[in-house]
Amino acid sequence: MNLVESASLPPAGLPGLDPSWSRLANAPDHSGRICTWHLLDSYAQRSGDVPRLTLVCVHGNPTWSYLWRRLVQLAPADVRVVAMDQLEMGFSERTGDTRRLADRVADLSSLTEALGITGPVVTVAHDWGGPISLGWAQRHLAQLAGVVLLNTAVHQPVGGPAPALIRLARSGPLLNLNTVHTSAFLRGTTALSGSKMSKQTAKAFRAPYTTSQRRVAIGDFVADIPLETEHPSAKKLDLIAADMTEFEQVPMLLLWGPGDPVFSDLYLGDLMTRAPHADVHRYEGARHLVSEDDERVFPDLLRWVANLALEQRTGSNPGAGIATQQVHRTRLWDGLHEAAERTPTGVAIVEMSGAGRRVTWRRLADTVDQLAAGLHASGVNPGDRVSLLIPPGADLIAAVYACWRIGAGVVIADAGLGIKGMRRAIRGAAPDHVIAIRSGLALARTLRIPGLRLSVKGLAAIARIDAPMPPEPSESATAVIVFTSGATGPAKGVVYRQSQVAGTRDVLREHYVINPSDAIVAAFAPWAVFGPTLGVASVIPDMDVTKPRTLQAVALAEATAAVAGTLLWASPAALTNVIVTAGALSAEQRRSFDSLRLVLGAGAPVPLPLLEQIHELVPHADIRTPYGMTEVLPVSEVNLPEIRAAAGGNGVLVGRPVNGVEVMISALDADGRPVGELTDQSEVTGEICVKADHMRDRYDRLWATNYSASRDSGWHRTGDVGHLDSDGRLWVEGRLAHLIVTARGPVTPVGIEQRVQQLPFVQWAAAVGIGPSGNQLPIVIVTSTDGTAEGLLDVDSTQMVRDQIPELDIAAVLVRDELPVDIRHNSKIDRKALSFWADQILAGHR
Amino acid sequence: MRVLVTGASGLLGAATAHAIANRGHEVVVFQRRASGLPFDEVRGDIGDDDALTRVMVGASAVVHLAAKVSITGTMAEFERVNVEGTRRVLQSAKVAGASKFVYVSSPSVAHTGAPIIGAGALPANPQTARGPYASTKAQAELLTLAQDEPDFAVVAIRPHLVWGPGDEQLIGRIITRARAGRLFLIDHGVALIDTTYIDNAASALVAAVERAAEPSVHGRAFVVTNGEPRTVAELLTQITRAAGLPAPTRSVPFAAAYGAGRVAERVWQTRDSEPPLTGFLAEQLATAHWFDQRETRAALAWVPAVGLAEGFGRLTSWYQRGAVAL
């Protein structure tokens, strides 16, 4: 028997819920009967005020308006937040009726009418609130200003099964047991939160559902999920899904917890297909209750909402990609074809590992064309994403160029992210297809890739398919999704369009004066991919490119000799090992380095002593270190003589911007926030900002990150901190996330570390802050050259460290056996982890 | 301005009386024993209303330091001096028409035993404060601040671990133990601790007297420190070195030290002398407590003039002179 119970206000004392937000409101339901709703209303005490915008927030099952409490709290004064408990749910009336999807859409419409919500509305919904809110939105297009969806669905994704957990909950006898008679479903939902939700908060989510009678609607709601086509709500859901085309002109934001076992990334993909214009932000690590799991969700949502109005005023949306410059550049595959015409039998690629494969220009050009035709015929379409899990070499290069020729984007997640990081990165990029070596296919199997799953060995068969060449894609087609190293949080996907990759190529060609007589020694993976478009030969040394430390001097010499290499690009870790193993070189092998005219050390700061050693080994080459990042490379460059002359400055000298790059600084305020107007004034420390034609388009599915990094129109905020000197040269002082914000203002770590490393007993040093931001203490952590045990450094040595940094009060110096570094570069110090470690120790007994 | 300093026989009381006089104010001191200070003096117990009335005559400001600070004693003794005594001094100051009242408190009034990491002056809480000293100081601070009125400006200053040449409370105890070869570290002395060199504590109290009526000052509590947190190991090393003694090298785990302290408290309850260690002391020596000094410095328009390095230098000279005199 269904319970009939009137609406009520929530009990006092629920965490984060202000009783003054709660009100009861009467409105006729779909059948015309007057029902009482409980709702949170940020204007509950301000009746008569007219908001600029109203957020109508629809919860799912089995939550209630409590889900939106922080949105009510955070909303600015001119934004009204209305979050209702749906009828039969939360603290709204229990009428005893079973309400289907169409009924609930009508109920909600009637409520907003009764509340007099006539101005612009952004709908906000979670879970099965999604279809209801979209149904409402379709009925109110005239006042609809935007649509925000959090972990929801409007349809089963093509080819995807119903969410397993929902299917289980729906399965016959289990339904009532799970949802009504016990609170298992209810408890399951709060347990679906990834963060450890506090007991009080979990209890607050359950507060309206304390008895089985009050839970009846939870069961009805689950039963109303149309998994079968003959289901009474199936038609309505299909209609809502089909009508999403009506939202083409409506700004849409999808905020997603990718760890949701119910509404997985497949559902995000389905929504993105239905609304290709939607802004998307995936919160890595968050699950079903995304707004409980990541505290950035509601601030980001409100920023997006504030930007809606901005957009009407200025027409610019910093969350979107960089507008493609209409500079005509040669297509990415042109250089390869030109070389094939010029020197068909000339060598394009040499692999030093295994059998030492050599591929001619003619062969490479033909293979790329055949693969492009074959892959296109096999279902790889322009705009698709193809994950390539292939080590650098001829196969990778051919696959990349074939995809580019089709207009498909390649997803390059390198093993430097670690297996877990790779899987997370690929899942985030949601590739349509995968081409991989065997171990890569095994990894891809867990990722539910809908399209082609091809092994590298299968490429030969694809190349044999007799199919026409696909038409040339647009220059604005996505070319590649690459990933940041993840040294400061989960790796972020970075999207480049073809024009932007071509821009990078042109900067490299112009800056390094590359011509067909050059040959690249690609000990740093990206170089290998640029060889063909530059029209120059490349050799990939026999090494595990994902483990730069494995590069042996002999392997490098043999690779250089194989093509008479002129350009070497390697990471500092690889160069270090070359020096360590240089003793094994024969006189002849040493001489093979004479062909090198340029050595680039990049990926991370290269210490001066290492550069000097390289100079001894390769005396004829110009030695330089470019500065850049996954989002734009190169930014600036410095050579060995300049580095020699620069000792003693604050930070690492990275030189003058290369041609076509502008660098400005956004000064830090006392709290370490980069709020200053962009300036090129010297000696101002702040966030390094870069503008260049060849920079990234945007971050992938990270709307808020992109918004923040692109907030100065046309510029990229790097997250690095540094300054320009009076000669216009750039110095890097550390990461924004690693600032030490003391009571006397922010302090950057790199300069401190360099000075401490001058002490004879110090091998490596890291400077971190502990304590609350704004009152942090600077702490130095060192690895010692003399085997000092982990723990506190002795008082006299501590004093020597302090004397190196007289302008700061270093509270303590700790010794560690080694410093934690990132996997990819093996050199970026994880200062966050060190700060946490130091804080734990120096807090003493807890 | 005539300023009354209670408890002037102690290290901080005497230094404060001198610092106030050096600013050109008239000083009168009140304590049980002869202070030996070159100021007007009334001797008496804090429970002696007549003596308090006499000493208040003409005073427009009071710096109230008199307190029972030992680490042992019954709750009743602490209450009599720290709570009731403070109530009497406050009362007679008001009756006498003083306009400023600086209560010398302690950061321990807000210390629950958990580490304090960069926090400001949290509210005093007699329920959570550890031990009778901290608990009674918390009660007294609350009742003092409650008396803040437009023409009676009340400030609470909480100097943290005051030390300097001649200090018996902290330095004296450490040196005594070091001489006996019984000074050891707890958990390797890794906890970061703020301390206050004596001159800085005194100058902060002078600043509090002079700025008590400022809107950003009266009615509030401020923690005062040197703002140079150091590990316990480093502090003990510097102190023992100043006295020409070897630095402590032995370390015991916290649990053992705390247990021993609790046992000692019980054993020493029946003796006249102090126990070598108490549970409270073990906790204090093993737990970080360092503070946010930004508000204190801004409100009092004060900065510590003597840095730690300078302070340890002065301590070293003092011990060296003492050695010569011996």
Domains along chain B with CATH numbers: 2-167+195-226+290-306 (3.40.50.720)
Rounded to an integer, what distance in angstroms lies between the CA atom of residue A413 and that of residue B319? 66
What's residue A550's pLDDT? 86
CB contact under 8 A, B288 and A841: no
From B289, which residue of chain A is nearest by alpha-carbon distance? A843
pLDDT, average across residues A464-479 = 96
Contacts of B287 (CB under 8 A, 6+ apart): A843, A844, A845, A846, B113, B114, B115, B116, B191
CATH of the domain at A84: 3.40.50.1820
Q: Indicate if the pLDDT at residue A342 is higher than 80.
A: yes
Measured from the Cβ of residue B40, the count of other Cβ atoms closer than 10 Å reads 14
Q: Is residue A47 part of a domain?
A: yes
Contacting residues of A for B114, CB less than 8 Å apart:
846
Residue whose entry in the numeric block shows the structure tokens 């340890």? B312
Higher pLDDT pick, A159 / A833: A833
Higher pLDDT pick, A599 / A321: A599
Contacting residues of A for B231, CB less than 8 Å apart:
792, 811-812, 842
Contact between A426 and A410 (Cβ < 8 Å): no
Contact between B233 and B190 (Cβ < 8 Å): yes
Q: What is the pLDDT along chain B (326 residues), one digit of tens a residue?
A: 999 999 998 899 999 999 999 999 999 999 998 888 999 999 999 888 899 999 999 999 999 999 988 777 889 999 999 999 999 999 999 999 999 999 999 999 998 888 999 999 999 999 999 889 999 999 999 999 999 999 999 999 999 999 999 888 788 888 988 998 888 898 899 999 999 999 999 999 999 999 999 999 999 999 999 999 999 999 999 999 999 999 998 998 888 888 887 777 777 766 666 777 777 778 888 899 999 999 999 999 999 999 999 999 999 999 998 754 43
What's residue A310's pLDDT? 46
What's residue B282's pLDDT? 81
Phi, psi of A64 (to 5 degrees): -155, -175
What's residue A226's pLDDT? 73
**Is B247 near chain A, with CB under 8 Å?**
yes
Contacting residues of B for A845, CB less than 8 Å apart:
115, 186-187, 191, 254, 283, 286-287
Q: Indicate if the pLDDT at residue A250 is higher than 70.
A: yes
What's residue A290's pLDDT? 95
The secondary structure of residue B170, as a DSSP letter, is I
Measured from the Cβ of residue A557, the count of other Cβ atoms closer than 10 Å reads 25
Rounded to an integer, what distance in angstroms lies between the CA atom of residue A746 and that of residue B193? 22
CB contact under 8 A, A743 and B288: no
> Among positive and negative, which fits the CA dihedral B152, B153, B158, B163?
negative
A positions 546-565 inside 8 Å of B (CB)? none
Contact between B31 and B43 (Cβ < 8 Å): yes
Residues A41-60 pLDDT 10s: 999 998 888 999 999 999 99
Share of chain A above pLDDT 90, in %: 71
- Between the CA of residue A154 and those of A104, A125, A131, A147, A268, what are the distances in Å? 15, 12, 6, 13, 10
Domain range for A748 is 739-842
**Is B242 near chain A, with CB under 8 Å?**
no
Higher pLDDT pick, B176 / A158: B176
Q: Indicate if the pLDDT at residue A313 is higher than 50.
A: no
Contacts of B52 (CB under 8 A, 6+ apart): B30, B44, B46, B88, B89, B92
Residue type, B147: Q
Residues β-bridged to residue A55: A81, A122
Residue at a domain's end among A261, A284, A314 = A314
Residues A391-433 pLDDT 10s: 999 999 999 999 999 999 999 988 778 888 888 999 999 999 9
What's residue A171's pLDDT? 56
Phi, psi of A541 (to 5 degrees): -60, 160
Phi, psi of A578 (to 5 degrees): -60, -45
From A773, which residue of chain B is nearest by alpha-carbon distance? B118
Overall domain count for chain A: 2
Higher pLDDT pick, A30 / A527: A30
Tokens of A189: 């939902």
Which one of A770, A809, A836, A845 would you mutate to disrupt binding with B, by most B Cβ within 10 Å of its Cβ? A845
* Mean pLDDT, chain A, integer: 90
Residues A524-549 pLDDT 10s: 877 889 999 999 999 999 988 667 78
A186, with CB counted inside 10 A (0-12, 13-18, 19+), is: buried
Residue at a domain's end among A314, A335, A353 = A314
By Cβ distance, the residue of A775, A809, A844 closest to B191 is A844
Q: What is the largest CA-CA distance in chain A?
A: 95
Contact between A533 and A503 (Cβ < 8 Å): no
Residue whose entry in the numeric block shows the structure tokens 């990541």? A294
Q: Is residue A590 part of a domain?
A: no
**Is A585 near chain B, with CB under 8 Å?**
no
CB contact under 8 A, A798 and B234: yes
Q: Indicate if the pLDDT at residue A314 is higher than 50.
A: no
Out of A5-9, A483-487, A728-732, A740-744, pick the least confident: A483-487
CB contact under 8 A, A811 and B228: yes
Rounded to an integer, what distance in angstroms lies between the CA atom of residue B189 and that of residue B196? 18
- C-alpha atoms less than 13 angstroms from C-alpha of A285 in its C-beta half-sphere: 13
Report angle CA B67, B68, B73 to the nearest 5 degrees: 160
CB contact under 8 A, A845 and B286: yes
From B237, which residue of chain A is nearest by alpha-carbon distance? A795
Residues β-bridged to residue A347: A360
What's residue A320's pLDDT? 63
- Between the CA of residue A157 and those of A258, A266, A815, B68, what are the distances in Å? 15, 6, 54, 75
Residue whose entry in the numeric block shows the structure tokens 């007099």? A116
> Among positive and negative, which fits the CA dihedral A598, A601, A602, A607?
negative
- Residues shown for chain A: 846
Q: Give me the helices (H) in chain B, please.
A: 11-22, 49-56, 75-78, 86-96, 131-145, 173-179, 198-211, 232-242, 254-268, 279-286, 294-300, 308-325
What's residue A390's pLDDT? 93
**Is B313 near chain A, with CB under 8 Å?**
no
- The counts of H helices and E strands in chain A are 29, 35
CB contact under 8 A, B117 and A839: yes
Chain B closest-CA separation from residue A759 CA (Å): 20
pLDDT, average across residues A251-261 = 94
CB contact under 8 A, A845 and B187: yes
B positions 186-205 inside 8 Å of A (CB)? 186-192
Measured from the Cβ of residue A328, the count of other Cβ atoms closer than 10 Å reads 9
Contacting residues of B for A776, CB less than 8 Å apart:
118
From A843, which residue of chain B is nearest by alpha-carbon distance? B288
Contacts of A539 (CB under 8 A, 6+ apart): A349, A350, A351, A352, A519, A520, A521, A522, A559, A560, A562, A563, A565
From A808, which residue of chain B is nearest by alpha-carbon distance? B228
Q: Is residue A610 part of a domain?
A: no
Q: Indicate if the pLDDT at residue A198 is higher than 90.
A: no
**Is A587 near chain B, with CB under 8 Å?**
no
How many Cβ contacts (< 8 angstroms) between chains A and B?
A: 80
Q: Is residue A768 part of a domain?
A: yes
What's residue A824's pLDDT? 66
Contacting residues of B for A778, CB less than 8 Å apart:
none
CB contact under 8 A, A845 and B189: no
Instruction: Please write down the long-range contacts of A70-76, taking CB distance under 8 Å and 24 or more positions apart.
Output: A70/A16, A70/A291, A70/A295, A70/A298, A71/A124, A71/A291, A71/A298, A71/A301, A71/A302, A72/A18, A72/A21, A72/A40, A72/A42, A73/A16, A73/A18, A74/A298, A74/A299, A74/A302, A75/A42, A75/A302, A76/A302, A76/A306
Chain A closest-CA separation from residue B177 CA (Å): 20
Q: Which residue in B103, B133, B197, B319 is the catalytic one?
A: B133
Chain A closest-CA separation from residue B55 CA (Å): 42
By Cβ distance, the residue of A791, A795, A844 closest to B288 is A844
What's residue B325's pLDDT? 43
Residues A747-772 pLDDT 10s: 999 999 999 999 999 999 999 999 99
From A839, which residue of chain B is nearest by alpha-carbon distance? B117
What's residue B326's pLDDT? 39
Q: Is residue A384 part of a domain?
A: no
**Cis upstream peptide for B126 (omega within 30°):** no
CB contact under 8 A, B187 and A798: no
- Between the CA of residue A807 and those of A646, A744, A802, what are the distances in Å? 21, 11, 9
What's residue B324's pLDDT? 47
CATH of the domain at A746: 3.30.300.30
Chain B closest-CA separation from residue A286 CA (Å): 30
pLDDT, average across residues A356-382 = 97
Residue type, A831: R
Out of A72-86, A298-312, A700-714, B215-229, pick the least confident: A298-312
CB contact under 8 A, B254 and A845: yes
Contacts of A566 (CB under 8 A, 6+ apart): A517, A518, A519, A520, A595, A596, A597, A598
Rounded to an integer, what distance in angstroms lies between the CA atom of residue B304 and that of residue B313? 16
Q: Is residue A240 part of a domain?
A: yes
Q: Is residue A380 part of a domain?
A: no
CB contact under 8 A, A812 and B192: yes
Q: Is residue A140 part of a domain?
A: yes
Q: Give me the helices (H) in A332-436, please.
A: 334-342, 361-377, 394-406, 418-429
Tokens of A291: 């707004």
CB contact under 8 A, A842 and B293: no
- Measure CA B247 to chain center: 25
| Residue B258 falls in the annotated catalytic set | no
Residue at a domain's end among A281, A296, A314 = A314
Burial A18-41 (b: 16+ CB within 10 A, else e): eeebbbebebebbeeeebbbbbbb
**Is B228 near chain A, with CB under 8 Å?**
yes
